[in-house]
Amino acid sequence: MRSDTDIALDLDLTLPGPKQTDALGVALAGVLRPGDTLLLSGQIGAGKSHLARAIIQSLQQRRDLPREDVPSPTYTLVQVYDLGDVEVWHADLYRLNGAEDVFELGLDSAFETEICLVEWPDRLGQDAPAAALTVSLDLSPETVGRRVSIRATDPRWIALERQLTQLGNPS
Ligand SMILES: Nc1ncnc2c1ncn2[C@@H]1O[C@H](COP(=O)(O)OP(=O)(O)OP(=O)(O)O)[C@@H](O)[C@H]1O
Ligand SMILES: [Mg+2]
């Protein structure tokens, strides 16, 4: 539902179980290009790493690359996957200390040229790319599975609405 003229994409979906999170990951992997950033929001255990894993493994599969394990980058902060034509930077910024760490990690330049999947993106503050797609996972006691809201202001993401609606459960 569009609520504002500045919003290019604003979609809410229900993901009843991990398989539906995987399906969302496959759909997102189908549209990701170099220079794209996904901001993966949501509380501890919401499924951010699960979704990132599904995206990365689907990107590998699409290139006939071996499917790698995708551990949570909780302690390394960043885990980089080389896909040949582009890298995927999977970051978990929960333990980030300050804004300067974003530069130390090299994330600022990765945002320009690679595919970046960022957990705990609130830690980026003003350094979050304006054109990023925000994917917020919500784990609430009254919800079976997860609710996910997918939002962007950049027109780059408009076409995603049709593709994601085909996943089912739009609301
Ligand atoms: N749609 C879903 N319904 C129910 N469980 C799900 C769904 N999607 C993912 N999960 C499960 O949620 C659990 C927690 O996922 P995950 O580790 O990805 O959380 P996280 O958001 O990355 O947490 P953290 O903030 O600690 O990094 C996993 O066991 C995963 O299988
Ligand atoms: Mg995680």
Q: For a pocket test of ligand 1, which of 49, 118, 167 has the largest count of ligand atoms closer than 8 A to its C-beta?
A: 49
The third-level CATH classification (topology) of the domain covering 9-170 is Rossmann fold (3.40.50)
Atom of ligand 1 nearest to the CA of 42: 21
Q: Which atom of ligand 1 is nearest to the CA of 20?
A: 1
- Total-model pTM: 0.94
> Could you tell me if the CB of 49 is within 6 A of ligand 1?
yes
SS (H, E, C) 48-116: HHHHHHHHHHHHHHHCCCCCCCCCCCCCCCEEEEECCCCEEEEEEHHHCCCHHHHHHCCHHHHHHHCEE
Return d(Cα 36, Cα 114) in angstroms, integer.
7
Q: Does the CB atom of residue 50 touch ligand 1 within 6 A?
A: yes
**CA 150, CA 70: separation in Å to the nearest integer?**
23
Tell me which residue has its CA closest to atom 28 in ligand 1.
47
H helix or E strand, kind and range, residue 27: helix 18-29
Q: Would you state the pLDDT for residue 170?
A: 47
Ligand 2 centroid to Cα of residue 48, in Å, is: 5
Ligand nearest to the CA of 72: 2
Asked whether the predicted pLDDT for residue 162 surpasses 50, the reply is: yes
pLDDT in tens, 61-108: 999 999 999 999 999 999 999 999 999 999 999 998 876 788 899 999
Model confidence over 106-136: pLDDT tens digits? 999 999 999 999 999 999 988 999 999 999 9
